[in-house]
Chain A
Amino acid sequence: MDFSYTILIPLIPLALFVILGLFSKKIPASISGWLGSLGLGTSIALSLYTAYHYFMDGKLEGVYQTFVYKQTWLIFTDKLHIDLGVLIDPISVMMMVVVTTISFMVHLYSRGYMHGDDGYTRFFAYLALFSFSMLGLVLATNLFQMYIFWELVGASSFLLIGYYYTKPSAVAAAKKAFIVTRFADLGFLIGILLISYYTGTFDFKDLTSLDGMLIAGWGASASFMGLSVFTWGLILIYMGGVGKSAMLPFHIWLPDAMEGPTPVSALIHAATMVVAGVYLVARLFPAYYFVEDGFALQVVAYVGAISSLVAALIAVTQTDIKRVLAFSTMSQIGYMMLALGVSKYEGHEGLGYMASMFHLFTHAMFKALLFLGAGSVIHAVHSNYMQDMGGLRKYMPVTHITFLIAALSIAGFPGFAGFFSKDEILVAAFESNKLIYYSSVLVAGLTAFYMFRLYFNIFWGEDRKYKHTPHESPLSMTIPLVFLAFMSIFAGYIPFSQFVTADLMPFEAHLNLPLAAIASSVGIIGIIIAFIFYKKPSDLPERFANAFGFIYKWIYNKLYFDELYIFVTKKILFGVVAFSASWFDKNVVDSSMIGIGNVTVSVSNKIKGMQSGKLQDYAMSFVGGIVVIAMVVFYIWIN
């Protein structure tokens, strides 16, 4: 089997970026949108073909094979070199499908959403750049290639969040996203340096091979503070994932990133880039699982579980609909992380791994749909806030129905996609760690509640005073909604355990009925509470908030994480470190250099008296000089 043509899948968006970027002034808007969609259309066709081909024929003796095509890009030492290429295995093929699908949908949608915008062509150029970078990341053959594209998706995210660059809040959000994730990436980079120093390779194939240096050799590795350096390396690499995937404590950039245009939020900050951290752990899963008996994997599990719970709590209190969705994304990614964290390796025990990838897939569909639906609503009422919405079901039927489908899906309502993937995650958690399981069930309830709080607030309740009567979005926007709604239901029926597993061998996964019943009843309870609270205007929510006064305020303000970060950066790093560096430079280093200069000047002032211009003085010095030299010569001579 030859999959070398898959290199075209990222290269097509790259070509688009170059064309649209270089000629952004010359290409009219009517062409650039179509050109972008056409290019991504080709990419999605190729990746669907690859997926079909690979999952049908990619097995050898029941095990999915890995195909690698690569080219050396830069050589560091005899052992260490960066290759660029494509790696075809179940998760990369799955991710490729997710990225091209959502990207294609977002391209189609943006043609309507961004209509009439000044930077229309520039927007499509950025989208193409992002698609290229994300596909490069997904298909990476080694850690360093992943790091390269990791930085590139970060940069495209920066450009897209700051798309409305004259708006101060958008610029601030773009900077924040870039700097916070770059700080996390510092951990990633140091992790790569550590691991490659000890194992002498960047290659995923060597790093995840069961008899490779990393997995078989950890017992003999050096240790630091009681843990193997390999564990430290993996934790540091995970730090990069924590940053990109907006887990605690690096989540603070994600809510602000909602300043970007809504299609961007759907593509980057819901479906693709933010799950890069999950993908990273999945990519290195055998290493996380086997090195030091999975210590680093435990860290993944707990970070995921805590982030998932905290984010769900915060989502309940927010009023900006995009921020609710942002926290919801963070919470769902926490789910995927914890599923990986509780997973084992072989056969059915690797359920968590499979569930995590499954949820990544279904989540991409319904969360992209929720964002695009929110975009459609924002497009109609020109506001992000729930207070300005209500009763929209009459005006926007397609948006209403698709949004409802997505909400049911994420709430885990039986029969919808989210129900199946979430159930697998809960089963995996139940079998491995009860504490995490209980917290996940609680999160399931909260998810259903905040999602239907959103739904009822937007589409039910009373009409607000709208400036213009809201109307349904154009076809270019509703077609992607309908397609994604279809996926939000039927993606759940894909037998994922046949395709994507930790040990690359298919297994049979069955619905665990008791656990599924618990999860869906918790979800339905959440929906019912939301129904009581928000279906009709009532003072219940307010009374509730007042009852929890202090805690409510705390959660509403996102646990004051932003304030903490501002304190550390503004007060300590800028106010103390940077300030003293520049002060020290000006007043100590530079002053002492000037001081040396001044001493020279004053010495020369003292001795300039010697240049008196009187012949006698010079003759005197001359004679004195000769006498001294003669004495020295005489002294040397007699010795």
Chain B
Amino acid sequence: MDILSLFVIVPILIVLALTFFAKDLKQARLISVVGMGIQFAMSINLIFAYIKERAVNTNIMVFTKDVVWYETFNIHYSIGVDAISVVMIALTAVVLLAGVFISWKIDDLPKEFFISLIALSSGVFGFFISTDLFTMFVFYEIAVIPMYLLIGIWGSGPKENSAMKLTLMLMGASAVLSVGILGIYFNSNADGGPLTFNIFEIAQVNIPVAAQNIFYPLTFIGFAVIGALFPFHTWSPSGHASAPTAVSMLHAGVLMKLGGYGVFRIAMYLLPVGALNWSDFFLVLSAFGVIYGAFAAIMQKDLKYVNAYASVSHLSLVLFALLMFNRTAWTGAIIQSLSHGLLTAMFFALIGMVYGRTHTREIEKLGGIMKILPFIGAIYVITGLAYLGLPGFSGFVAEMTIFVGAFQHPDLFHRILTIVVVSSIVVTSVYILRMVGKIMMGPLSNEEYKDLPKATWFEKTGLILLLIPVIMIGVLPLGLSEMLKESIQPFLERLL
């Protein structure tokens, strides 16, 4: 079995093992943690294998493999990775492993919970390794659909409603996306050859400009809805608020990154003329989203809502950077995806810990928690500072790379928009400090909180797993950023 397909196979094996062997919570979590541990080790191994392979292999994708699985429409199971997919796979693996630790004590249908969570992950891994449009789309759907069950069954609050809203909006986006993908497919033989779904074969032909102008916005929006593009982001606050902790972590941490990934891997790469023609429109939308999300976050009363709007702001920044069409900004966009994925997962994990103990997520009702829960409090403050872009953490590297890159744009309008977007860092610090200052610092809001149980070992493990890469990227970013830059080049060249 090749090194990449294992990423899809292992989760399926874990799901099978869970189905047949897990009898109670203890067994279910043991199987999950061992399986995800293996997955995590494989992803670390993949990074090193990739670096080794890259030194001798100059193809766009390495570890490629191609198997026909539906000949009539020329659909292949074709896989391969570059640096961008590798880091995304590593992100997914670490968030999942942390998510399993955070769900250590899930008491309601534990076996089924872990099955859905891990089934979903096989879709995410499959999505990141695919280089065939159709296969990629199938994996995308595998990743999105179990979400309905996870929120609807294990969620809190108005969970059925939120799950429905989230699923319907994402399905609607998928419908739009499928039209875009079919549009690309039916134009993939401009030179008279057979139709193909293979990304790199399509990139060899020039799709007619008229078709590009029609199918680019469809493909872009199809992906960008899950990347929280304004005004299609409203599934995210209520969806995240209702979802159980591990699901919020995985969804905001990884699934929302599928949007940005798809945008540059498919929409921009295959429809470059359309991308350039439509760029100003989407650029304004994404820049607006950055500021709008940040301001909306200030006014939220529920911790998860604050984080959801913060995600809208931070992920609009990813789209904004991608629309700048330059290497530095794109590198920043990928690092921002990673950084936001780790940090937002930490935030959701922490919120889950606070909620699990105090049974409230309302900012007004919480206060002075750090005195009682020093470990959770300290990590909360660190996560907050990292989130608002303090040097030494990944967020700073990501944001600065985006800002400097975007500001190199030769067009004045783009530079002015960049300045507007840069100013979001102040608003970010307002909502982060307001939240941290209120819930963690200050006098204890409720005497009953005095006896809250301290952080457990599995909670600490989950948080530290996420914190380590945040600090590593923040302190030594050079290797990562150079590795990404190299892989970005062929995709960017199509747009220049």
Q: Does A225 contact B (CB under 8 A)?
A: no
Bound: A144/B478 CA distance, A: 15
Given contacts A152-B390, A581-B296, A589-B231, are A175 and B442 in contact (CB under 8 A)?
A: no
User: B24 — which chain A residues lie within 8 A by C-beta?
Assistant: none
B453 to chain A, nearest CB (A): 17
CB <8 Å contact, B299 and A171:
no
A501 to chain B, nearest CB (A): 32
CB <8 Å contact, A179 and B407:
no
The residue from B298, B370, B407 contacting A193, defined by CB atoms under 8 A apart? B407
Which B-chain residue is minimally distant from A71 (CB atoms)? B478
CB <8 Å contact, A151 and B433:
no
User: B423 — which chain A residues lie within 8 A by C-beta?
Assistant: 186
Number of A-B contacts (CB under 8 A): 128
User: A182 — which chain B residues lie within 8 A by C-beta?
Assistant: 425-426, 429
Residues on B close to A: CB < 8 A? 165, 168-169, 230-235, 292, 295-296, 298-300, 309, 327-328, 368, 370-371, 385, 389-392, 396-397, 400-401, 403-405, 407-408, 415, 418-419, 422-423, 425-426, 429-430, 433-434, 437, 440-444, 477-478, 481-482, 485
B375 to chain A, nearest CB (A): 10
Bound: A165/B444 CA distance, A: 11
Chain A interface main SS type: helix
B330 to chain A, nearest CB (A): 12
The A554-602 residues at the B interface (CB cut-off 8 A) are 574, 577-579, 581-582, 585, 589-590, 592-594, 597
Taken residue by residue from 175 to 196, chain A's Cβ proximity to chain B (1 for < 8 Å, 0 otherwise) reads as 1001100110010011001001
User: B299 — which chain A residues lie within 8 A by C-beta?
Assistant: 574, 578-579, 581-582
Known: A166-B368, A193-B404, A579-B299. 12 other contacts (CB 8 A): A77-B328, A77-B404, A77-B408, A80-B408, A155-B385, A166-B444, A175-B434, A190-B422, A581-B292, A582-B296, A582-B298, A582-B299
Residues on A close to B: CB < 8 A? 72-77, 80, 144, 148-149, 151-152, 155, 162, 165-168, 171-172, 174-175, 178-179, 182-183, 186, 189-190, 193, 196-197, 574, 577-579, 581-582, 585, 589-590, 592-594, 597
Bound: A178/B384 CA distance, A: 13
The residue from B296, B425, B426, B477 contacting A73, defined by CB atoms under 8 A apart? B477
The residue from A72, A171, A193 contacting B422, defined by CB atoms under 8 A apart? A193
CB <8 Å contact, B401 and A74:
yes
Which A-chain residue is minimally distant from B419 (CB atoms)? A190
Bound: A186/B423 CA distance, A: 7
5 A-B residue contacts at CB 8 Å?
A74-B397, A74-B481, A77-B328, A178-B429, A585-B292
Which A-chain residue is minimally distant from B391 (CB atoms)? A148
User: A589 — which chain B residues lie within 8 A by C-beta?
Assistant: 230-231, 233-234
User: B234 — which chain A residues lie within 8 A by C-beta?
Assistant: 585, 589-590, 593
The residue from B300, B397, B404, B418 contacting A196, defined by CB atoms under 8 A apart? B404
Bound: A162/B309 CA distance, A: 27
The residue from B371, B408, B477 contacting A166, defined by CB atoms under 8 A apart? B371
CB <8 Å contact, A168 and B401:
no
The residue from B422, B426, B442 contacting A179, defined by CB atoms under 8 A apart? B426
Bound: A63/B296 CA distance, A: 56
Bound: A592/B328 CA distance, A: 37
User: A76 — which chain B residues lie within 8 A by C-beta?
Assistant: 328, 401, 404-405
Which B-chain residue is minimally distant from A589 (CB atoms)? B231
Given contacts A152-B392, A162-B441, are A597 and B404 in contact (CB under 8 A)?
A: no
User: B482 — which chain A residues lie within 8 A by C-beta?
Assistant: 75
User: A175 — which chain B residues lie within 8 A by C-beta?
Assistant: 433-434, 437
Which A-chain residue is minimally distant from B374 (CB atoms)? A25
User: A168 — which chain B residues lie within 8 A by C-beta?
Assistant: 442-443
A15 to chain B, nearest CB (A): 14
